[in-house]
Structure 1
Amino acid sequence: MPDQTSRVFNVLFLCTGNSARSIIAESVLRQDGAGRFRAFSAGSHPKAEVHPTALQVLENFHYPTDGLRSKSWDEFARPDAPVMDFVFTVCDNAAGEVCPLWPGQPMTAHWGIEDSAAAVGTELERKMAFINALRYMKARIAAFSALPVASLDRSSLATRLREIGRAEGATRPRPDVA
């Protein structure tokens, strides 16, 4: 592998609609992992737009929202797409789908959290679902960013990535999801 101490790693966050959780993850890593990671997000069935509450919560917590858009994961499977080093599913549905073949054999893990876009209840309860998604994703990204990637072998890194996915707020994927 190339020198990992100065290398910038490409990270793709996947969700079905790419309108909330994966967008939140992209924004958080874009800011908190700046200089070490390049963040992207996509969905298997992207929505027409990013959920407005996701954008509002990101802005309220001073995370960047410029350039965020709901897009298909097919954009990242094309020959001219950036080669991903890491691919994380953040919703249980996307974890169970057949993903495109990613060039470069990226490390993968499932970091599922509840779907904030599907939250019901009062306006405050729905907004809290987005705040919780941000909090859980921020904690996972902090743990990921702190990993000594350069000193971990592939197997150890895979184990650590799976452990991060089981942190507070983790959903339980369907039994047929690896």
Structure 2
Amino acid sequence: MKQIYFLCTGNSCRSQMAEGFAKKLLGDQWRVASAGIEAHGLNPNAVRVMAEKGIDIGKNKSKVIDVDYLNSSDLVVTLCGDARDRCPVTSATVAKQHWPLKDPALAQGTAAEILTVFRQVRDQIELRILDLVKQ
């Protein structure tokens, strides 16, 4: 079974959404996990916008990178420059992709405007996961 790891700074938004989509869309073909350089806790707005897509990530926990899982992964996807730049070195056998996505946790404005940013990032992640499914 192939293994994928989604990484971002705090494992609170982008990587959690990617994990949720991947578990749904990649099915049993992949072992899926996410982590962060640090653990910032699960962002409630990420939970909310994923629920709108019928995916429950509400029981997920924010985790830091597990080096063993990282090095045994077939594909590591970083979702921010911080994770890409600070990710521990992996062997040459681990494929890497970088998806430079806006951090929705930094969105400002009204609650509705912030949710709009979360939805935009969520939808970008969904499209990228769908591309992985096609591969």
In 2, the alpha carbon distance for the partners of 1:72 and 1:41 equals: 9
Larger radius of gyration: 1
Q: Which runs of 5+ in 2 are unaligned?
A: none
Quick one: which amino acid aligns to residue 116 of structure 2?
M
1:103, distance to aligned residue in structure 2 (A)? 5.8
Pick one of 7, 10, 13 that aligns with 2:6: 13
In 2, the alpha carbon distance for the partners of 1:34 and 1:104 equals: 26
In 1, the alpha carbon distance for the partners of 2:56 and 2:85 equals: 29
What residue number does 2:57 align with? 65
Pick one of 122, 127, 131 that aligns with 1:134: 122
Q: Which runs of 5+ in 1 are unaligned?
A: 1-7, 148-178
Pick one of 9, 33, 36 that aligns with 1:43: 36
What residue number does 1:55 align with? 47
What residue number does 2:85 align with? 96
In 2, the alpha carbon distance for the partners of 1:106 and 1:67 equals: 28
Residues 125 and 57 of structure 1: CA distance in aligned 2, closer, same or farther (over 3 Å)? same
What residue number does 1:119 align with? 107
Show structure 1 runs of 4+ deviating over 4 A.
none
How many residues were matched structurally?
A: 134
Cα RMSD (Å)? 1.6
What residue number does 1:144 align with? 132
Higher helix proportion (structure 1 or 2): 2
Identity of aligned residues (%): 28
Residue by residue over 1:105-163, the C-alpha shift from the partner in whole angstroms, topping out at 9 and shown as x without a partner, is: 3100101110011100111110011111110000001011101xxxxxxxxxxxxxxxx
